Structure 1
């Protein structure tokens, strides 16, 4: 235990657990934003490289659970339909993860903060792109590359995936199963990528493993309570909170 707290202080570990619980709660309640909340929330006080290491295992476990809830049959159908996007996402997560440790800390705060702010503002604005049928194949690859690059560096490829599915006109009830597959496979690539990059190592993996429990507890509470409030309003409030937290990450990067 004393070795564990050479990586993070007890106070910051407790703070990370609270943030992870909140991220799990939101994911359980409305199905998104767990990595965004963990990155932007922990970024208030924790070093960015440790944040990325910390989110890996909770994301892997939560996304596997999401795939399981959707059912294996729907998962198989999602892979068949969206395999180009999935391959591009997974490949780019593996590649971009290798560059994380080469980015200076101040710059990394900006790298983490800017996508959070932009992606949340896009969702708040309700912008919905449209993909013409003749452009679907190249757009699938291009969108997958962009999502995977963000995923490897920031641990989140959810919002770009949502925009991609909306642009294809994917029915709402099918979106959750498709997202579960994309998030699940991507999270495995994130794990492998950061084992290779050295971000997830003998010093940092216990921290990541310790965050699995509060994340899963938060998801369970979110599943239980999600039907008791207005999901759309809760989603909007969450996005605005994430915008503020993302701006704070950018501020830390700019001001040092």
Structure 2
């Protein structure tokens, strides 16, 4: 993506991602394809995705809380889900260190393709 487009495209992607997240609870579209298109290094891409997902999660929690639908009872169960997530992050870091950038990018794009296919197939299952 040309650098000159980033200044005006980034806010539009942010607003669109916020609208999609608010309506569906899914943070992926369009933020992830946009961040991938920036041509970041694999470590910078993972960091940018982490920041995006963290901010989206906090904003979604705040939105749910403002509507009175944030269930505090579910926080303990959600906290338990952090343990396997951290294990996955550790494994992902180990794999990311060992693969070259081109293989990482191909794998990343394949995961996006699979995610998109799953989202398209969901209404038919």
State the Cα deviation string for residues 50-91 of structure 1 (Å, max 9, x = none).
xxxxxxxxxxxxxxxxxxxxxxxxxxxxxxxxxxxxxxxxxx
Contact 2:20 2:29 (C-alpha < 8 Å) held by counterparts: no
Partner of 1:232: 105
| CA–CA separation in structure 1 for the residues paired with 2:14 and 2:24 | 15
Whole-angstrom distance in 2 between the partners of 1:238 and 1:164 = 15
Check conservation: 2:64, 2:70, Cα contact below 8 A: yes
2:27 equivalent in structure 1: 157
Which residue of structure 2 aligns with residue 204 of structure 1? 74
User: For the structure 1 residues 241 and 162, does the alpha-carbon distance in structure 2 shift closer, same or farther, using more than 3 Å as the test?
Assistant: closer
Inter-CA distance 192–177: structure 2 relative to 1 (3 Å threshold): same
State the 1:199 CA deviation: 4.2
1:172 equivalent among 40, 46, 58: 40
1:147 is aligned to: 17
Alpha-carbon distance in structure 1 between the residues aligned to 2:36 and 2:107 = 20
Matched ranges for 1:129-144 at <5 A: 136-137=7-8, 139-144=9-14
Task: Using CA pairs under 8 Å that are at least 6 residues apart, name the structure with larger relative contact order, 1 or 2.
Answer: 1
Count of residue pairs brought into register by the alignment: 120
- Distance (whole Å) between structure 1 residues aligned to residue 52 and residue 120 of structure 2: 27
Q: How much does 1:220 deviate?
A: 1.0
Deviant stretches of 4+, over 6 Å: none
Could you state the TM-score of these two structures normalised by the residue count of structure 2?
0.66
User: Any gaps of 5 or more consecutive residues in structure 1?
Assistant: 1-127
TM-score for the superposition, normalised by structure 1? 0.37
